[in-house]
Structure 1
Amino acid sequence: MKKKNVRAKLPASGIYYSPGEQKERAALGLPPCSPAPRGLIKKLPKGRVPILKKAICAPGVLNEAPVYGSAFTRGLRLELPSHYIQLLISGTSSVGPHGETLYPGDFRAQLWRTYHNITELLESEGATWHDVVRTTCYLRDIDRDYAEFNRIRTEFYDALGLDPYPASTGIQAGICRSDLLIEIEAVAIIVP
């Protein structure tokens, strides 16, 4: 007996949702077989209000990620109790004001541009590298580039007079574009 080739009927959205995906979407309160409308899920524990958040941007040096199809903001400003401010800078690379990769193949130039972009994001919120407490640094080829990365990072931090340096982790990772060689996240805290 021959098996019939049974194809699932696609919904109007044109997206096929597997049975497992349907089950997990439903468990999260999403429609199992169609895209979720914006703002569908608004659940906070009773009596709680969301933390005040504001997107951080520096359009003079780099564009917003949704412009080229990514779903994240360049950074968030969080208003914490006692008027403390925490800045969370998303992974930032050598990207220009129109979303273009700058300096393909030039690790050192990409690293300096990454520091330039993060500096502008910090400054847009009244912060500096002196407010940065942690970085996470993603290198496409850590064996090849770590020594140069560490040399430039040390030079930059010393030029800023940072003492102590921010806590940091270096990780070899694939980065969102094949021509990007370095990406850095940063966390800053501003004390009132």
Structure 2
Amino acid sequence: MSEAIRADAAPRPVGRYPHARRAGNLLFLSGIGPRDPTTDAVPGNEYDADGRLVRQDIVAQCHSVFANVRRVLEASGARWEDLLDVTVYLTDMRRDFDAYNAVWAEYFPDPATAPCRTTLGITALPTPIAIELKCIALVRS
């Protein structure tokens, strides 16, 4: 058996899926992006007068996506320190990897205690975001 989790403090999922699903002591988070939970805006996105995306701030999006992951973890009974594995999707690996990696180091300064991580460069995500995280965590309660 598994339990679906909805985190009211996190942005709504963009599809028909839960924020997370708990199976035993493992917690599987659906893809989490950097959208603001209140406004649905993407931090750091800039648009021209015609509404076309002209700039993305990966640092702002990294901080926001980490905050959203934390919200889902807390709603699920887990903590940031309980992350075991993180898959990261970047829409522009060449432009964003170094800045993303620097923000990662702020949140996980000790590689010995950081979760495992895989980073993939992809061509697009379903909303105008530059980063999405897919996480697995341990629930201790």
The two structures have a TM-score, normalised by structure 2, of: 0.82
1:16-47 residue CA offsets vs partner (Å, 9 max, x unmatched): xxxxxxxxxxxxxxxxxxxxxxxxxxxxxxxx
Work out the percentage of aligned pairs sharing the same amino acid. 24
Q: Give yes or no for contact 1:61–1:120 (8 Å, CA) kept in 2.
A: yes
Contact conserved, 1:130 with 1:162, CA < 8 A, in 2? no
C-alpha RMSD of matched pairs (Å):
1.8
CA distance in structure 2 between the aligned counterparts of 1:156 and 1:57, rounded to whole angstroms? 24
Question: The residue matched to 1:137 in structure 2 has which SS?
Answer: strand
Tell me what 1:180 maps to: 129
Residue deviations 1:141-183 (CA, integer Å, cap 9, x gap): 001100000000011112xx67321111000112112x20000
Aligned match of 2:98 in 142, 147, 158? 147
Pairing 1:26-65 to 2, within 5 Å after superposition: 52-63=1-12, 65=13
1:27 corresponds in structure 2 to: none
Determine the structure 2 residue equivalent to 1:73.
18
Distance 1:101 1:90 in 2: 19
How far, CA to CA, are the matches of 2:27 and 2:5 in structure 1?
8
Which residue, out of 74, 78, 97, partners 1:123? 74
Structure 1 residue 77 displacement after superposition: 1.2
CA contact (8 A) 1:92 1:114 kept: yes
Tell me the number of residue pairs that the alignment of Structure 1 and Structure 2 aligns.
Answer: 129
Between 1 and 2, higher relative CO (CA 8 Å, sep ≥ 6) is seen in 2
Deviation at 1:106? Answer: 1.8
Bigger Rg, structure 1 or 2: 1
- SS of residue in 1 equivalent to 2:30: strand
Counterpart amino acid of residue 36 in structure 2: G
Shift of 1:99: 7.2
Is the 2:19–2:29 Cα contact (8 Å) retained in structure 1? yes
CA deviation map 1:43-97 (0-9, x unaligned): xxxxxxxxx222222212312x2xx5x1222111112xxxxx1100111011233
1:9-20 aligned at under 5 Å gives the runs: none
Q: Is the 8 A contact 1:101 1:180 kept in 2?
A: no
Change in 2 beyond 3 A, CA 1:163/1:76: same
More strand by share: 2
- Which consecutive residues of structure 1, in runs of 5 or more, have no partner in the other structure? 1-51, 80-84
For 1:144, what is the secondary structure of its paired residue? helix
